[in-house]
Amino acid sequence: MPVLPGAEPYRHEGAEVGVLLCHGFTGSPQSLRPWAEHHAAHGLTVSLPLLPGHGTRWEDMQVTGWQDWYAEVDRELRLLGDRCSRVFVAGLSMGGALALRLAARHGDRVAGVVAVNPANRVHGLSAHALPVARHLVRTTRGITSDIARSGAVELGYDRVPLHAAHSLRVFLRRLDGELPRVTQPLLLLRSAHDHVVPAADPARVLSRVSSTDVKEVVLEQSYHVATLDHDADRIFEESLAFIGRLAPSVGKEGTAAVG
């Protein structure tokens, strides 16, 4: 199936410092495109892949699972590592969870993590029924476009395939056990009013990681898709400052200054 207009992956060849951005469940690179372009404009090398099964139609996602989504970002991280001296990982919602797993599994090859409203579990009584319900019902209503800013729209599916939702639940349970292996500097930004990922999820992430260099930022004016919301500029600026603090070589002659 052709990729939906606006859902295409994004890449930019820049300086020796790279950033891998991971989009969320049933979403697409469109939700992170302004963030990617902001970092690219400051000279960074940027990769924003399209996860398998996303950006086309929900039926394509029905036959994918967390192993496919993680394999894609793992591959992109390795490619960035071949190109860049330092690589940071970042993401929104499930993308934040994917970024955290990359950090847990790749150690020093990840210089730092930026997680925006990271998911830690699938919530609700229905989550416990997923192992059976996915064989009886194909989809449930979508979760995209939880945005406070008038006129802003997230490009994603209006239905959630239950096979994929079950796989997400399995992935998040697995990741929770791996979070203590995350030791890298962590910038976590969470929305004060999020209708998709409750505050308990980022709180759980903060309580489980082993990172000692941690900063939490509360986004007061945004809902879940904060990268397209009122606090988007703050996310871009905070993450750029975070990278600049940890990768001072970016400011040297011959590369773009960060911050």
- Assess whether 38 carries a catalytic annotation: no
Considering the candidates 54, 224, 230, 231, report the single residue annotated as catalytic. Answer: 224
Is 194 catalytic? The answer is yes
- Residue 101: what are its φ and ψ, rounded to 5°? -70, -35
Out of 31, 93, 167, 222, the active site residue is: 93
SS (H, E, C) 108-140: HHCCEEEEECCCCCCCCHHHHHHHHHCCCCCEE
Task: Decide if 93 is catalytic.
Answer: yes
Q: Tokens standing for 147?
A: 């945005």
Give the count of beta carbons closer than 10 Å to the beta carbon of residue 256. 15
At 221 the three-state DSSP class reads coil
Dihedral sign for Cα atoms in the order 113, 232, 196, 75:
negative
CA distance 68 to 75: 11
Q: Where are the beta strands (DSSP E) in 103-259?
A: 112-116, 139-141, 159-161, 186-191, 214-219
Catalytic residue among 194, 201, 229, 231: 194
3-state secondary structure at position 50: coil
Residues annotated as part of the active site: 93, 194, 224
